[in-house]
Amino acid sequence: MSSKFEHSVSYPCSVAALWAQISTEQYWHELIQATNAGHGSVDSVAIDGDTVTVVTTQGVGAENLPSVVTAVRPGDLEIPRTSVFRLVGETITGSMKAQVKGAPATIEGDITISGDPAVASYLGTANVGIPFVGGKIEKAIIEQVGHLLDAERDATVEFLQG
DSSP E strand stretches across 61-144: 77-88, 91-99, 105-114, 119-128
The domains found in the chain, sorted by start residue, are: 2-161 (3.30.530.20)
SS3 content of the chain, % helix, strand, coil (to 5): 35, 40, 25
Q: How do the pLDDT tens digits run along the chain, 162 residues long?
A: 799 999 999 999 999 999 999 999 999 999 999 998 888 999 999 999 999 999 999 888 878 777 877 777 788 888 999 999 999 999 999 999 999 888 899 999 999 999 999 999 999 999 999 888 888 888 888 988 999 999 999 999 999 987
Distance CA 8, CA 5 (A): 10
Q: What are phi and psi of 67, to 5 degrees?
A: -60, -30
